[in-house]
Amino acid sequence: MQNIRPSSELRNKYNEISTLCKETREPVYITVNGRGDTVILSIEQFNQIQAELKLLKMLSEAEDDVRNGRVAPVEDTFNDIRKKLDL
């Protein structure tokens, strides 16, 4: 269930909202004049979302590489690395 709070509570009850975000690990939606305006997240949740988006982007790029034939056998890749490292 979404936790929706008016902006006045953000001003007057910041600590409560901050604790709620941390404990529930869910966003709190802030409204202004009854309309959605802002979303508050704990820093941990924000960082997790950022990491997940980065991973999804990398996976999407990898899928695109496979679809377009931009792949090589892993053995060839390791041989190329060894050559560059003079091993």
pLDDT digits (tens, 9 = 90+) for 3-50: 999 999 999 999 999 999 999 999 999 999 999 999 999 999 999 999
Non-local (6+) Cβ contacts of 13 within 8 A are 5
Residue 8 burial (C-beta neighbours within 10 Å; 0-12, 13-18, 19+): exposed
Q: What residue spans of the chain are helical by DSSP H?
A: 7-12, 14-24, 43-67, 74-84
CATH topology of domain 3-43: YefM-like fold (3.40.1620)
Residues 42-73 pLDDT 10s: 999 999 999 999 999 999 999 999 999 999 89
Q: Which sequence spans correspond to the domains of the chain? A: 3-43
Query: What is the helix (H) or strand (E) element at residue 13, kind and residue range?
Result: none
pTM: 0.73
Predicted pLDDT of residue 86: 86
